[in-house]
Amino acid sequence: MAIVVDENTRLLIQGITGREGQFHGQQMINYGTQVVAGVTPGKGGQTTLGEVPVFNTVEQAVKETGCNASVIYVPPRFAADAALEAIEAGLRTVIIITEGIPTMQMMTVYHEARRQGVLLQGPNCPGTISPGKCKVGIMPGHIHKPGRVGVISRSGTLTYAVVWELTRASIGQSTCVGIGGDPIIGATFVDFLELFEKDADTDAVVVIGEIGGTDEQDAARYVRDHMSKPVVGFVAGLTAPPGKRMGHAGAIISGGEGTAQEKIEVFRECGVEPVELPSEIPGKIKNLIGATSA
């Protein structure tokens, strides 16, 4: 099993004829993902990336190809409308790679996704990969290894660093997801922890956080109250000064809240195993679940 995407995912790429859609679309196809359709308004009737049909609307793409998930590579000022179109067309998984979507627009998308029961991932996220089964987004496929450890992260770059440490230690991953670093995102750590807890093929989870907000604290309390599987946590930004944005728009300490130290302390209180460096994660995982089951 896997969460979010697997070998049965039939993927639609919104913005498929743009530079990013073309490059990453080909990478996803090369990995084995079933890319069955693309949408670029005004370019319907064409084909691209081999024989992938392009449609003018998501509704047409769903009707003609039976796609069941969408990934969005649309410029920021159009991306919210693209996500709403995907939700209205009945897609149950919508992954937004685009960064910098206006906050008020994303609030509309967020509430509509929740109302419709859609798994909305992102924006400003690297996507999802279930190693050996399906890759959606911009994650480099070659660093991943099929296995039984789930990974959830706010940072794309830190995801790759942690995954590479796991793979080098012969610890495979069931699914790796990026929740996104913008102020308004769809699915949170808690949403994905719930999915991993239910996944029979995930034995442990790694949570990769950063400064800003309270998502990591919420995740820790969920682990304490609802998780039977061990969880390892890493928080970037121990030396970050208050009031200064560090990378992502959401990575800012405001009003004394959202510090790395605060998050690490809550991890400890709630039974999440904290580490100071990504390189410490494989050893911690092996101690918790055993080298053979990883």
Alpha carbon separation from 43 to 16, 22, 54, 81, 247 (Å, rounded)? 10, 14, 7, 18, 35
- Averaged pLDDT, 165-182: 96
Q: What pLDDT sits at residue 252?
A: 46
154 DSSP assignment: S
Give the closest residue to 95 by CA, choosing from 49, 45, 134, 56: 134
CB 152 within 8 A of CB 193: yes
Give the chain's domains with CATH numbers: 10-121 (3.40.50.720), 140-289 (3.40.50.261)
Kind and range of the H or E element at 4?
none
| 205 vs 291 pLDDT, higher one | 205
Active site residue 226: no
- Averaged pLDDT, 69-73: 98
- Averaged pLDDT, 254-277: 84
Identify the residue whose tokens are 């359709």. 37
CB 275 within 8 A of CB 230: no
Q: What pLDDT sits at residue 160?
A: 95
Choosing from 24, 111, 142, 248, the catalytic residue is 248
